[in-house]
């Protein structure tokens, strides 16, 4: 029964674009050049969270940003670097900064335990101990994550390594290696951001009616012909996106959350749930325009960005078919196993294993340097078939099976966030090394997370 509902829901989403009305943009003018977040690199990095203002065709919003009005710089580091941050909270309220996807000591993870009070400076420092990947950072204050991210606190965190630097793929940031942070927002009558979730929003997540790319509305990216790498982040609160090009052109997916895929995937569409990242390669051969389109699950379809390809020819690269890939072995029968049952128990009541987040409760403990197999399921509930996702801190997991089968190729690489539509279940292999302390796991639909769909575990 559950199976059938689930397939029907997903088919509707993947198959039939026509059931979604065309996106409307209320006559707002567009065409601003795509903003590229500046890079922040070196071994001493400063971030400052402060209030700002964002001008959009709809009006002006009061926002939060890191080192600027909205969003933050792209932190750019290399494997083995030792980096020290100074993070100053210039807001009038507490916040935190969490490194999503990063293997990091618990005390510097930036979860709900590492609160930065107004006026304080937090100084996390750590070594980068993982492969090249596109990660990101955002606040994680208990009960306030959704609102802080919505106001604009988020940025990319890119790791390079020897392998990624040696690959013959586009690597020039902002030139042929383009970060794209997608976020939908709802606007009030004055044209400002409107974050006042009502009951249905707590259920389905706060879905917007306009999509921003790197904080701009319907921006334009001007390019020469050539091969481009787009790093895609779904930085929305709770919207599940189906990304495609207006003309359904094909592209090559080369990396997921935690790095390169064992085998690249040719496709014309990509489902990206909140917090997930993908890297794609795409060739622009002939001059003209290409539109990027996002369909929001359960909502509308929007054209979100225009790529204008000029007459000049830039550099073309072959699309690699596969990448060097190593994984721990999670097949041993002796591995410890755990269940994570995600359920909708009523209006805005979401649980994992029947519990809601409680800062005073440690949900489980595990041993340092251990591998485990986790069974994660979205059990839905009656008519309330709500999607959830599962995110774990400190580690990149391996999807061992998805709905009892070999995982889809897009899930074959390292991941930290996985979308589970109602009825879906996955077995993931998790590995915790080097550090001890408390980390979080939760649904990355931020309205769900804030309403308690989260837990904490201790590595000892």
Applying CB under 6 A, the residues found at the interface with ligand C2O are: 98, 100, 138, 140, 275, 391, 393, 440, 442, 444
| CA atoms of 265 and 271, how far apart (whole Å) | 13
| CA atoms of 227 and 6, how far apart (whole Å) | 37
Q: How far is the CB of 393 from ligand C2O (least distance, A)?
A: 6
| CA atoms of 108 and 241, how far apart (whole Å) | 30
Q: Which does 79 bind (CB under 5 to 8 A by kind): ligand C2O, Cu ion, none?
A: none
SS3 for the chain, per residue?
CHHHHHHHHHHHHHHCHHHCCECCCCCCCCCCECCCCCEECCCEEEEEEEEEEEEECCEEEEEEEECCCCECCEEEEECCCEEEEEEEECCCCCECCEEECCCCCHHHCCCCCCCECCCCEECCEEECCCCCEEEEEECCCCCCHHHHHHHCCCEEEEEECHHHHHCCCCCCECCCEEEEEEEEECECCCCCECCCCCHHHHHHCCCCCEEEECCEECCEEEEEEEEEEEEEEECCCCCCEEEEECCCCCEEEEEECCEEEEEEEEECEEEECCCCEEEEEEEECCCEEEEEEEEECCCCEEEEEEEEEEEEECCCCCCCCECCCCCCCCCCCCCEEEEEEEEEEECCEEEECCECCCCCCCCEEECCCEEEEEEEEEEECCCCCCCEEEEECCCCEEEEEECCECCCHHHCCCECEEEECCCCEEEEEEEECCCCEEEEEECCCHHHHHCCCEEEEEEC
* Count of CB atoms situated within 10 Å of the CB of 89: 23
Q: How far is the CB of 398 from Cu ion (least distance, A)?
A: 22
User: Which is closer to ligand C2O, CB of 140 or CB of 151?
Assistant: 140
Q: How far is the CB of 425 from Cu ion (least distance, A)?
A: 15
141 binds Cu ion (CB under 5 A): no
388 binds Cu ion (CB under 5 A): yes
User: Which is closer to Cu ion, CB of 287 or CB of 348?
Assistant: 348
Q: How far is the CB of 441 from ligand C2O (least distance, A)?
A: 8
User: Which is closer to ligand C2O, CB of 254 or CB of 445?
Assistant: 445
Q: How far is the CB of 380 from ligand C2O (least distance, A)?
A: 22
Q: Which does 393 bind (CB under 5 to 8 A by kind): ligand C2O, Cu ion, none?
A: ligand C2O
| CA atoms of 457 and 363, how far apart (whole Å) | 6
User: Which is closer to Cu ion, CB of 46 or CB of 379?
Assistant: 379
207 binds Cu ion (CB under 5 A): no
Q: Which does 388 bind (CB under 5 to 8 A by kind): Cu ion, ligand C2O, none?
A: Cu ion
Q: CA-CA distances (angstroms) from residue 7 to 2, 75, 260, 326, 424?
A: 9, 39, 29, 32, 10
Q: How far is the CB of 93 from ligand C2O (least distance, A)?
A: 19
204 binds Cu ion (CB under 5 A): no
| CA atoms of 8 and 10, how far apart (whole Å) | 6
Q: How far is the CB of 227 from ligand C2O (least distance, A)?
A: 30
User: Which is closer to ligand C2O, CB of 281 or CB of 459?
Assistant: 459
448 binds Cu ion (CB under 5 A): yes
Q: How far is the CB of 460 from Cu ion (least distance, A)?
A: 28
445 binds Cu ion (CB under 5 A): yes
Find the binder of Cu ion among 128, 443, 446, 454 (CB under 5 A): 443
User: Which is closer to ligand C2O, CB of 323 or CB of 441?
Assistant: 441
User: Which is closer to Cu ion, CB of 388 or CB of 393?
Assistant: 388
Q: Which does 151 bind (CB under 5 to 8 A by kind): Cu ion, ligand C2O, none?
A: none
34 binds Cu ion (CB under 5 A): no
Contact segment (CB under 5 A) with Cu ion among 49-57, 138-146, 193-201, 438-446 equals 438-446
* Count of CB atoms situated within 10 Å of the CB of 240: 25
User: Which is closer to ligand C2O, CB of 152 or CB of 275?
Assistant: 275
User: Which is closer to Cu ion, CB of 134 or CB of 417?
Assistant: 417
Q: Which does 231 bind (CB under 5 to 8 A by kind): ligand C2O, Cu ion, none?
A: none
Contact segment (CB under 5 A) with Cu ion among 180-188, 294-302, 325-333, 388-396 equals 388-396
Contact 271, 240 (CB under 8 A): yes
Q: Which does 443 bind (CB under 5 to 8 A by kind): ligand C2O, Cu ion, none?
A: Cu ion
Q: How far is the CB of 456 from ligand C2O (least distance, A)?
A: 10
Q: Which does 140 bind (CB under 5 to 8 A by kind): ligand C2O, Cu ion, none?
A: ligand C2O
User: Which is closer to Cu ion, CB of 179 or CB of 205?
Assistant: 205
User: Which is closer to ligand C2O, CB of 140 or CB of 242?
Assistant: 140
Q: How far is the CB of 274 from ligand C2O (least distance, A)?
A: 8
Contact 90, 70 (CB under 8 A): no
Binding site for Cu ion (CB under 5 A): 388, 443, 445, 448
């Amino acid at each position: 029964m559950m199976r059938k509902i689930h397939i029907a829901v997903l088919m509707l989403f993947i198959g039939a674009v026509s059931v979604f009305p065309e996106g409307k943009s209320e006559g707002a003018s567009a065409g601003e050049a795509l903003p590229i977040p500046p890079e922040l690199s070196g071994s001493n990095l400063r971030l400052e969270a402060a209030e700002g203002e964002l001008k959009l065709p709809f009006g002006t919003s009061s926002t939060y940003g890191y080192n600027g009005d909205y969003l933050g710089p792209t932190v750019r580091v290399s494997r083995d670097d030792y980096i020290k941050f100074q993070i100053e909270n210039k807001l009038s309220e507490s916040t935190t900064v969490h490194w999503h996807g990063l293997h990091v000591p618990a005390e510097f993870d930036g979860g709900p335990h590492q609160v930065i009070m107004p006026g304080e400076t937090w100084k996390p420092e750590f070594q980068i101990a993982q492969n090249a990947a596109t990660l990101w950072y955002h606040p994680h204050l208990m009960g306030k994550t959704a609102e802080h991210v919505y106001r604009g606190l988020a940025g990319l965190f890119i790791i390079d390594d020897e392998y990624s630097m040696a690959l013959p793929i586009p690597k020039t940031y902002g030139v042929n290696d383009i970060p794209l942070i997608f976020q939908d927002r709802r606007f009030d009558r004055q044209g400002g951001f409107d974050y006042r979730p009502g009951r249905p929003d707590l259920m389905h997540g706060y879905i917007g009616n306009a999509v921003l790319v790197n904080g701009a509305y319907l921006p334009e990216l001007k390019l020469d012909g050539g091969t481009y790498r787009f790093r895609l982040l779904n930085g929305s609160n709770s919207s599940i996106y189906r990304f495609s090009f207006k003309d359904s052109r094909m592209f090559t997916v080369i990396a997921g959350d935690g790095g390169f895929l064992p085998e690249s995937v040719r496709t014309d569409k990509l489902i990206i749930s909140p917090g997930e990242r993908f890297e794609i390669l795409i060739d622009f051969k002939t001059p003209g325009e290409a539109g990027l389109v996002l369909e929001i699950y359960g909502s509308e379809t929007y054209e979100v960005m225009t790529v204008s390809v000029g007459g000049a020819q830039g550099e073309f690269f072959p699309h690699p078919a596969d990448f060097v890939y190593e994984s721990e072995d999670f097949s041993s029968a002796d591995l410890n196993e755990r269940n994570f049952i995600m359920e909708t128990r009523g209006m805005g009541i979401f649980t994992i294993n029947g519990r809601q987040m409680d800062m005073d409760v440690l949900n489980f403990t595990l041993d340092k340097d251990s591998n485990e197999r986790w069974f994660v399921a979205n059990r839905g509930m009656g008519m309330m078939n709500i999607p959830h996702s599962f995110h774990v801190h400190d580690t990149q997991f391996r999807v061992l099976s998805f709905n009892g089968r070999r995982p889809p190729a897009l899930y074959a690489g390292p991941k930290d966030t996985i979308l589970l539509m109602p009825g879906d279940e996955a077995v993931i292999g998790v590995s915790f090394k080097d550090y001890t302390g408390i980390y979080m796991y939760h649904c990355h639909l931020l309205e769900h997370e804030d309403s308690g769909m989260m837990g904490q575990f201790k590595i000892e």
